[in-house]
Amino acid sequence: MLHSLLLVLLIGAIAWGGATIGLASLFGVVLPYVAVVVFVAGVVWRMVYWAKSPVPFRIPTTGGQEASLDFIKQAKYDCPNTTWGVIQRMLLEVFCFRSLFRNTLGEVRVDDPVNKGPRTIYYSSKWLWFFALMFHYCFLLVFLRHFRFFMEPVPSCINFLESLDGIMQIGSPRFFWTGGLLLVALLFLLARRLFNQRLRYISLINDYFPLFLLLAIVGTGICLRYFDKTEIAQVKVFIMGLTHFSPVGTAGINALFFTHLTLVCVLLIYFPFSKLMHMPGVFFSPTRNLPNNSRAVRHVNPWNPPKQYFTYAEYEDTYRDAMADAGLPLEKQPEKAAE
């Protein structure tokens, strides 16, 4: 945990220091191009790698009752047996995080009145689902809002998003809810790993690092907007230079901006090699994207070797005389077979 925190702080410090001593073009021009190439190529490579793994059989999950006899009610969303059902399940999964929604928490109640002793009880636990959903949607909105720096003229849908996001008109520049909620959701996801002992036991550096990295990105972003400000018109000129492949000078832009940019680049570079690959990975999940129709359709393993069949008729043809000598019942008697 500490290691990943220190690592993120180190990256931030290097970027900030580098931008201060005049290496801004390294962190602001070279790194973003490298990061975008690594990100896109890396993710495509991982997707192709996954697509090469065969999934010949359906993987039924215990999420719900599969399609069976008419009088047994099927869990349509959790255990579909048609392609349309799978599309519904994927939509629910991608947009509503249904797997997390079904999360339950098991606990041993030491002194339970029903059992008059210890009893294991399970109840619905929606916290992870709620904050995960909040994090992802806020992140999406923040990502979309940043398109005002990439597009000239800014399309009206981006304006609309911003007016919605800053609808409370708090302060100037007005407070954007998504930024604040993003920070809250991230802090919950981190606190969950720190204060739940079982979760803490299984948490590794590759769980903490993306959390701290995202916290640093959100933190620097919020700082740039409300506290240690930089002129966004200049930033837009700089960014538009990058996206038009004719980079302009970095003079006059706050070092904190380059820290923010560097952290985003590190996220992009880290992305294809980390658990963040659940973004394309959710579409590759066999337990989510395959209809559970094992009872209706025969799935044959495609690389099975060709079968060597020896039918009973052939068996009898081969051993007929011996079988007749032993007095075994035969389909065809030796004299008939000879005809």
Partner 1 sequence: MYNAKAVTIGIIIFVILFTSPFWASLLGKSYKETGISLPKNEKECVETTDFMRNKHMQLLNEWRDEALRNENRVYVASNGKKWAISLQNTCLKCHTDYKEFCDKCHVANSVDPYCWTCHLIPQGSTK
Give the HSE-up count for residue 100: Cα atoms under 13 Å, Cβ half-sphere: 15
Instruction: Tell whether residue 130 is a contact of partner 1 (CB under 8 A).
Output: no
Instruction: Tell whether residue 323 is a contact of partner 1 (CB under 8 A).
Output: no
Of residues 132-191, those binding partner 1 (CB under 8 A): 147-154, 158-159, 162-163, 169, 171-174
Phi-psi region of 156 (alpha: psi -120 to 50; beta: other; left: phi over 0): alpha
Instruction: Tell whether residue 112 is a contact of partner 1 (CB under 8 A).
Output: no
Q: Does the N-terminal peptide bond of residue 173 adopt cis geometry, omega within 30 degrees of 0?
A: yes
Kindly tell me which of 41 and 296 has the beta carbon lying closer to partner 1.
Answer: 41
Binding marks (x or -) toward partner 1, 241..280, rule CB under 8 A? Answer: x-xx---x-------------------------------x
SS3 217: helix
Instruction: Tell whether residue 65 is a contact of partner 1 (CB under 8 A).
Output: no
Q: Report in angstroms how near the CB of residue 167 gets to partner 1 at its nearest.
A: 11
Q: Which stretch binds partner 1 (CB under 8 A): 104-112, 115-123, 188-196, 230-238?
A: 230-238
Instruction: Tell whether residue 336 is a contact of partner 1 (CB under 8 A).
Output: no
H-state helical runs in the chain = 2-20, 24-25, 31-51, 83-96, 98-101, 127-145, 156-165, 177-195, 197-202, 205-226, 232-243, 255-270, 278-281, 286-289, 312-326, 334-338
Kindly tell me which of 38 and 337 has the beta carbon lying closer to partner 1.
Answer: 38
Q: Which stretch binds partner 1 (CB under 8 A): 40-48, 115-123, 196-204, 327-335?
A: 40-48
Kindly tell me which of 172 and 308 has the beta carbon lying closer to partner 1.
Answer: 172
Give one DSSP letter per residue of 162-199, joined into a string: HHHHTTT--TTTTPPHHHHHHHHHHHHHHHHHHH-HHH
H-state helical runs in 52-107 = 83-96, 98-101
Kindly tell me which of 102 and 236 has the beta carbon lying closer to partner 1.
Answer: 236
The total of other beta-carbon atoms located within 10 Å of residue 151's CB is 12
Interface positions with partner 1 (CB under 8 A): 36, 39-40, 43-44, 47-48, 51-55, 147-154, 158-159, 162-163, 169, 171-174, 229-234, 236-237, 240-241, 243-244, 248, 280, 283
